[in-house]
Structures are given as structure tokens and as C-alpha cells.
Amino acid sequence: MAVSALDDEVLRVVSAAVDVAFYRAVYPELDAPGFDPVRHYVEKGWRDGRDPAPWFSVRDYLAMHPDVASAEQEPLYHYLTEGRREGRKLTPSEHGEGYLRRYSDRGVTPAWRFEPRVTPRVARPVVSAPKAVSDEDRALVATEFNADFYNTAYPDVAAAGFEPLNHFLVTGWLEGRDPNPRFSVRDYLETYPDIGLARINPFVHYLRTGRAEGRMPRNQLGFRFEILSHGKPVAERIAEAQAASEEFAARPVEDLASGLASSRTGLKDLHLTFSHDDYTANLGGLQLCLQREDARVAELGRDHLHLYPARHWPVLRTLEAAPLGVLLNGQHLGFFSVDDIVGAFGAAADESRGARSLALHSLLGHKVDEVLAICGALGLTEGFFWLHDFASLCAGYHLLRNDVQDCAAPPPDSAACRVCAYGPWRGRHLEEHERLFRGLRLTVVSPSEPTLKLWRDSWTFPHVDELILPHATLLERAPAAAAPEGPLRVAYIGFPAAHKGWPVFRDLVQRLEADERYRFLHLGSRRAADLVTEFHAVDVTDANPRAMQEAIETLALDVVIMWPLCRETFSFTAYEAIAGGAAVVTGPDSGNIAAVVQRGHGRVMPDEAALALAFEDGSIADLSRASRRPMLYDLAFSGLTVDLLSAVAK
């Protein structure tokens, strides 16, 4: 049945997802005094093919779901109320990230991003409309419903001003939204399909009878099972990257030539870098490295050209085509075809030349033939190859077998590779990097000794030299102030990602949250949706590189848990924790973290069971500030490739 554009229900639901700032910026001709983007979109905009947010394409959704189009239903309302639950795709590539890139290329930065829930890959019963919510059910659910968790996990609900408990009871559970971090609607319906068939709210059932019957609130197989069961095949991820890349229209070469004309030196003195994304728009360790390298290049008075794929790719490209983004001195020039880039750079190379250098920070999303052609156009035959990860050894650049288990890069014909999702793609990375190292004279630069050793022991590429240059070093500053009284302050710092060990910390907190011996905190740029604990927003940028260590010192953290599933090549967060006076607790397969901790900066536990036991028996208290009387440090950051340029032939 068609939904009237004036229906208040449509306006109420859609208002949670329409990005008002985005709508005004993309369609400035509509903006006028009294203009209401949400009402305009609902009443007219969607019929004109206008997108309500950078992640949602009106035209794609209607084209892919003709029943919605023929019923003249407003597509975003349909997706939010029905399509998402039915597993309908948003675009041919299953998501709207291509639209985020497309619109950001036009200079549009959304004020906030509504993130639609991902449809689970595991089949489960389709639950039809709920029965009316009784006062008894409402009172029952209220006893264990966590409104703070719900608003954090589902910002669209909070942004729309919905009362969280009511939203969950009426529509939230149908959309797979969880009432608290300990209960999974998805898991309960998948494990007990009789509940879905009976059209019963699974949390209501669990509280009323399920718990007494011994039913589990979520699967007990752990977060590694979650990763395995919901992971996408590498081939599918490549296909998505290809489809998303095709959404970018390369700009004409004249635009590139015009942009290059704004260079500092006329590209006479030039530093060329490659990585997997736009370091000015994304946050992470590698991006911070490139920001620092860019700043140091500017101090030298050189131009810095940076190339990255328009869309994130999980592997190196071989046959796949994709445009590349071009940054000049930190300014985005646009996305261009590789042929146009080679041509424009070749024209620049014809001018008088000065000092030119090359640094390869990541080749994910790049094609080796293209890299060699671009370097050739600029007359570059040698440079530096950074080991920020292990992509040169495997398409699984974290060296995690099936994304859950450290593998230490065994021989590619081993049984371990045959059972890994990345096994069939490992040959691509080894062969392509072999061609890269034969095509250029490269010096390998590692941020730590353990990283270089693993790389050297795993494969032999024809390189010129090997260097170790840490991204930062610890300089003693002063003894820490006397430790405050109270429970042991235990924290996770950084982005709450599975491969960084967030689930290990989360599960520990959930087991011990009522234990008065401990105070658990999370410091980072984004609050995690799956854990309600004390959170402190900390953003580390090139302009404020010591924000994290200062926060750790101010909060007088005793222990920072760092339990990555993968071998860290360096780990800024480990150095920040130590600099701020905290002890680092980690596992044996954490790469450089374990190497640094073993120098007297914490404890390396043999496994997760030992970690849990140390908290249960209280022995972790030996790492308190009062017991250790730690030293505080300053962090001296390297200039990365700029520190090595004296070795580059001028």
C-alpha cells in the first residue's frame, strides 16, 4: 500500500535517517528561509531522485526493488521499516559507502552518518508484525533494559528522539536491535526458531521463561565464532570494492594539470607516496604517519604527491580497474584514471628536476603495473618500502588465519594456508610484490625489530637494504606522581576493533563489572556500542600527538589491556600507555607490543585464561601505580621517510 508523503509516521521515521546538513549541501538551490530538508525529501525530493543521506541511493533502491517503485512507496521509509528486516540491498554493492565517497569528492561532509544495521548472513526466521505490547511486558523488560546502551548502539534512534524502551518493544527487536550488551536478539532467534515463528519478542520470552528453561541469551562460542560466522568471502569483498570503485567518475586530465600547477616547486622537488586511503580524511596509525611525513616534507620545501585508491580494497589489484585519488601537499585534487595520472606526471617530469623521492606505505587497492608506470613517469627508480603491515606476505595483511588466529606466515603451500580464507589470494600478493621489488630498487624500512625479523624469515624479496626506524621513542621525563587511592584503574585505549583485542577487554569488563576492586575505562575517539563503561573521548592528531598519553597520565591509569589478535608492527598505543605511566598487559603473539612490554613496562600473559585469572585472584594489582612507582616519558616522533632521505639518490 502506498504511503502518503504527508503521513506523519513517514516524517517521524525518516527524520531519524535524513542527513539535514548533507541535504542542504548537495542541493543548495533548495535552501531558503524556512526550508525543511526532511519534509522536502518526504513530500517531493525522493520523487526527484534526491538522496536523503550519502549512504542511501533513491534511484538504486527503487531500481533494485520494483515492487516498492510500483507501489509508489517512499524508499527510505520502506527500507527502515521493512526492507532492512527483509535483507534488501541498498545498492548493487550491498551498501552505500560509494555514495559517501562520491559526495565527499564534491566537498560535502555530512554532519553525522546514520549506519544501517548489516543483515546477518546466517538464515533465520522472518518475524512478522509484533503483537500489542502489554503493560506487563513493558514492566518486565524495563527491569533489564539498558537505555544508555541502546542510545549508544543505535544513534538513529537517539537522534530521532524516540524513547528507547518503547522503540525496542515496538519495532527495535524486529530490526535485530539488542536491549542490553548481554542479550542478542539475532542469536536468540537463530538458536530458538520456535520463538520467531510464534511472533514473540525474544527478550520478553527470555525474561519470562527462557532463562529458567536454560536458554542462552546469546551464543556461547565467543567473539571468534561471531567473526567466522559473519565474515564475507574475500572474492565477495573484492567484487564489492570493484562495484564501489565503478561509482566514481574520473575527472578530466585538465583538472589534474590545473591542480598540479599549484605546487610549491613546480614539482621540481618532489616526494611521492602510496597508501590504501586518504590520510587527511581517515584516522589511524598509518594515516598519522603520513600526516607527520607530509609535515616534514613541507618543512623541506618539497611538494608531496600522494596516491590512494578511490575505494578501500582488501587486496592488491591485478586485473581490476579503479581510479586513484590524488593529494598534493595535503589538498585533494580529485579522482583520476591512471593513464591520465601517468600522462600528467610525465609532463611534469619533463621540466627541470631537483630532488625526488619515493615511499610505499601500502599497496592495498593499487596495481603494481600502475605503480611502476607512475614511478617511471617521474623518473623514480628507487625508494623505501614500509612494513606497516604484512600485506607483502599475504592478502590477510594482519596474518590472521580466517581473521581470528595468528598464523605467523607459514609456507604458502602449507595445510594452514589451505584452510584459510586468504590462502587462495596469498599467491597474488607474493607474486605482485616480487614484481614490485624487481621493478624498483627498494630499501625495506620496519618500525620494529620483531616485524623485520618475521618479514625476513617468511619470504625473500630482492631488496637493496633493510632499516629499522621506530615511529616514536621513549624519553624519560620524571617519576609519576603518587598514585591516588581507590580501585585499580584498568583501560582499553584506541578504536574498539576485534583485531585490536576489544572483545577480550569487553568480555572481561562484563564478567567483573560489579567487582569493586576495579574501575574500567575506555579512552578513544569513538564510544563502543557493545559495552557501557566509563568513556573518555580522546582524539590523537598530528596537531595534538600527545593527547592519549596526557589523558592516561591525568586519569592515573594503572593498567592498559592490549590484546591484539594480530602481531602489531609497532603500536603507537603501547608507547602512549607507557609514556603516561600505565603498565601494559598483552599476549605472547602481539608482535612489537610484547617486545616493548618485556623491557619492564608491564606483563606478557601466556593466554586469555591467564589474563582472566589474574583479575579474578587479584594478582593483577601488582601492576598498580602504587606498587610500580612508574616513570613518565616524552614521545619523540620520527619524521618517517624524511629522516631517511639522505640515503636517496638525488
The verdict on residue 643 lying in a domain is no
The verdict on residue 235 lying in a domain is no
- 459 secondary structure, DSSP code: -
- 81 secondary structure, DSSP code: I
Sheet of 270-274: strand order equals 331-336, 324-328, 303-309, 270-274, 356-360, 382-386, 441-446, 465-468
Considering 455, 471, 487, which residue would you say is the last residue of a domain? 471
Give which of 551, 542, 499, 498 is closest to 522, Cα–Cα. Answer: 551
Decide if 364 contacts 315 (C-beta within 8 A).
yes
Q: Read off the C-alpha cell for 200.
A: 514473540
How many whole angstroms separate alpha carbon 573 and alpha carbon 591? Answer: 13
The verdict on residue 648 lying in a domain is no
207: CB partners within 8 A, 6+ apart: 140, 141, 143, 144
Which own/partner contact pairs does 544-547 have at CB distance under 8 Å and 24+ positions apart? 545/288, 545/292, 545/635, 545/637, 546/576, 546/579, 546/635
Decide if 193 contacts 124 (C-beta within 8 A).
yes
Place of cell 550488551: 181
The verdict on residue 120 lying in a domain is no
The verdict on residue 170 lying in a domain is yes
Q: Tell me the pairing of strands 331-336 and 324-328.
A: antiparallel
Decide if 231 contacts 421 (C-beta within 8 A).
yes
> Do 440 and 487 fall into the same domain?
no
Q: In 275-355, which ranges are E strands? A: 303-309, 324-328, 331-336
Q: Read off the C-alpha cell for 396.
A: 590477510
pLDDT at 518: 97
Q: What is the CATH number of the domain that holds 545?
A: 3.40.50.2000
Helix (H) or strand (E) holding 199: none
Taken in order 118, 122, 123, 126, the sign of the CA dihedral is negative
Helix (H) or strand (E) holding 636: strand 631-637
pTM, full prediction: 0.72
Phi/psi of residue 312, each to 5°?
Answer: -60, 135
How many whole angstroms separate alpha carbon 605 and alpha carbon 44? Answer: 60
Place of cell 598505543: 573
- 311 secondary structure, DSSP code: S
> Do 37 and 148 fall into the same domain?
no
Place of cell 603491515: 389
Decide if 238 contacts 509 (C-beta within 8 A).
no
Decide if 110 contacts 19 (C-beta within 8 A).
yes
Q: Read off the C-alpha cell for 211.
A: 532463562
Helix (H) or strand (E) holding 393: none
How many whole angstroms separate alpha carbon 303 and alpha carbon 639? Answer: 16
By CB neighbour count within 10 A (0-12 exposed, 13-18 middle, 19+ buried), where does 104 fall? middle
CA angle 157, 162, 166 (to 5 degrees): 105
> Do 54 and 69 fall into the same domain?
yes
Place of cell 519470562: 208
Q: Tell me the pairing of strands 583-586 and 324-328.
A: unpaired
Considering 471, 502, 526, which residue would you say is the last residue of a domain? 471
> Do 478 and 467 fall into the same domain?
no
Q: Read off the C-alpha cell for 298.
A: 613541507
Decide if 201 contacts 169 (C-beta within 8 A).
yes
How many whole angstroms separate alpha carbon 340 and alpha carbon 158? Answer: 46
How many whole angstroms separate alpha carbon 245 and alpha carbon 61? Answer: 19
How many whole angstroms separate alpha carbon 189 and alpha carbon 120? Answer: 12
- 579 secondary structure, DSSP code: H
pLDDT at 314: 93
- Provide the domain count of the chain: 4
How many whole angstroms separate alpha carbon 185 and alpha carbon 188? Answer: 5
How many whole angstroms separate alpha carbon 530 and alpha carbon 223? Answer: 12
The verdict on residue 93 lying in a domain is yes
How many whole angstroms separate alpha carbon 135 and alpha carbon 364? Answer: 54
> Do 31 and 141 fall into the same domain?
no
Helix (H) or strand (E) holding 476: strand 472-479
How many whole angstroms separate alpha carbon 454 and alpha carbon 393? Answer: 10
> Do 404 and 487 fall into the same domain?
no
Q: What is the CATH number of the domain that holds 273?
A: 3.40.50
- 306 secondary structure, DSSP code: E
> Do 441 and 485 fall into the same domain?
no
How many whole angstroms separate alpha carbon 168 and alpha carbon 138? Answer: 10
pLDDT at 83: 80
Domain that holds residue 47: 5-105
> Do 365 and 345 fall into the same domain?
yes
Q: Read off the C-alpha cell for 571.
A: 603500536
Phi/psi of residue 443, each to 5°?
Answer: -100, 125
> Do 147 and 281 fall into the same domain?
no
Euclidean distance between the first and final Cα of the chain, in Å?
71
Can you spell out the DSSP letters for 370-381?
A: HHHHHHHHTT--
> Do 325 and 431 fall into the same domain?
yes
> Do 539 and 567 fall into the same domain?
yes
The verdict on residue 28 lying in a domain is yes
Rg (CA), the chain: 26
> Do 438 and 290 fall into the same domain?
yes
How many whole angstroms separate alpha carbon 467 and alpha carbon 550? Answer: 31
The verdict on residue 118 lying in a domain is no
CA distance to 267, 395, 505, 550, 624, per residue, from 619 (Å): 59, 40, 17, 27, 10
Ranges in the chain, pLDDT < 70: 1-8, 16, 85, 91-132, 349-352, 646-650
Taken in order 145, 151, 155, 161, the sign of the CA dihedral is positive
Considering 157, 184, 219, which residue would you say is the last residue of a domain? 219
